[in-house]
Amino acid sequence: MSPLIRYYNLLLLDKKDVLQLFFYAIFAGLISLSLPLGIQAIINFIQSGRVSVSWIVLVFLVVIGVALVGVLSMMQLRITENLQQKIFIRSSFEFAGRIPRIKFEELYGTYPPELANRFFDTMSIQKGTSKLLIDFSAALLQIIFGVLLLSLYHPYFIVFGFMLLILLYYIFKYSYNPGLETSLHESKYKYKVAAWLQEMARNNFSFRNELNYDYALQKNDGLVTDYLKYREKHFNVVKRQFAQLIIFKIIITASLLSIGGYLVLSQEMNIGQFVAAEIIILLVIGSVEKIILGLETFYDVLTSVEKIGVVTDMELEEESTKEYLSCFTAITLDINNLCFKFPDSEKNIINDINLQINQSEKIFVEGKNSSGKTTLIRLLSGLIQPTSGTFYINDDTFQKIDLKLYRSQIGSIVYGETPFEGSLADNITFKDSNVTQEDIRWAIETVQLTAFIKTLADGLNTIISPQGSQLSASNAQKILLARSIIHKPKILFYEDPTDTMDENVANEIIDLITAPANKWTIIVSSQNPYWKTKCSRNIVMDNGQIIFDSKN
pLDDT tens track for 90-144: 888 988 888 888 888 888 878 788 888 888 888 888 888 888 888 777 777 777 7
Which CATH code, of 3.20.20.70, 2.60.40.2230, 3.40.50.300, 3.30.70.20, is assigned to 325-551? 3.40.50.300
How far is it, in rounded angstroms, from Cα 481 to Cα 487?
A: 12
SS3 416: coil
Distance CA 388, CA 103 (A): 16
Those residues whose C-beta lies under 8 Å from the C-beta of residue 447, and which sit 6 or more positions away, are 478, 481, 482, 485, 509, 512
**Per-residue model confidence as pLDDT tens digits over 482-537:** 999 999 999 999 999 999 899 999 999 999 999 999 999 999 999 999 999 999 99
- pLDDT of res. 324: 45
* CA–CA dist 257, 275 (Å, integer): 10
Q: Among 172-186, 271-285, 404-418, 524-538, which range has the highest average pLDDT?
A: 524-538
Cβ atoms of 548 and 382 closer than 8 Å = no
Report, as an integer, the average pLDDT of 409-436.
Answer: 91
CB 497 within 8 A of CB 481: yes
Amino acid at 95: F
CA 5 to chain centre: 18
The answer to whether residues 41 and 272 touch, using CB atoms and an 8 Å cutoff, is yes
Kindly tell me if the per-residue pLDDT of 439 is higher than 90.
yes
CA distance 210 to 255: 65
pLDDT (0 to 100) of residue 401: 58
Q: Stretch 412-420: mean pLDDT, rounded?
A: 89
387 Cβ partners below 8 Å, 6+ apart? 339, 340, 341, 348
The residue-averaged pLDDT of 414-420 equals: 89
**Which amino acid belongs to residue 91?**
S
Residue 308's identity, in one-letter code, is I
Q: How far is CA 409 from CA 374, 403, 443, 485, in A?
A: 20, 10, 16, 10
- Three-state DSSP at 537 gives strand
Q: What is the pLDDT of residues 149-184, one digit of tens each?
A: 777 777 777 777 777 777 777 777 788 888 888 888
Is residue 461 over pLDDT 90?
Answer: yes
DSSP letters spanning 316-377: BPP------GGG-S---EEEEEEEE--TT-SS-SEEEEEEEE-TT-EEEEEESTTSSHHHHH
Task: Give percent above pLDDT 70 in the chain.
Answer: 90
Task: Give the model confidence (pLDDT) of 510-524 as tens digits.
Answer: 999 999 999 999 999
Residue whose C-alpha is closest to residue 492's, from 534, 441, 436, 454: 534
- Most confident option among 47-51, 149-153, 346-350, 437-441: 437-441
More confident residue, 138 or 351: 351
pLDDT confidence bin for 37, thresholds 50/70/90: low
Q: What is the pLDDT of residues 470-485, one digit of tens each?
A: 889 999 999 999 999 9
pLDDT of residue 325: 45
User: pLDDT tens for residues 363-376?
Assistant: 999 999 889 999 99
DSSP 214-250: HHHHHHHHHHHHHHHHHHHHHHHHHHHHHHHHHHHHH
Domain-wise residue ranges, the chain: 3-312, 325-551
Q: 151 or 391: whose pLDDT is higher?
A: 391
Strand-pairing partners, residue 232, are none
Q: Are the C-beta atoms of residues 237 and 243 closer than 8 Å to each other? A: no
**In the predicted model, what is the mean pLDDT of residues 400-417?**
81
CA pair distance 103, 188, nearest whole angstrom? 23
Q: Which is more confidently placed, 435 or 397?
A: 435
- Mean pLDDT, range 414-424, rounded to an integer: 90
> What percentage of residues in the chain have a pLDDT greater than 90?
29
Mean model confidence pLDDT for the chain: 83
> Nearest CA to 362 among 529, 520, 499?
520
Residue type, 173: K
Instruction: Report residue 400's pLDDT band, with 50, 70 and 90 as the boundaries.
Output: low
Most confident residue range from 141-145, 381-385, 459-463: 459-463
- Burial pattern 172-200, b for ≥16 Cβ within 10 A else e, equals beebbeebbbbbbbbbebbbbbeebeebb
| pTM metric for this prediction | 0.75
The CATH code for residues 3-312 is 1.20.1560.10
The more confidently predicted of residues 106 and 267 is: 106
Q: How far apart are CA 415 and CA 495, in angstroms?
A: 6
Rounded Cα distance between 341 and 353, Å, is 13
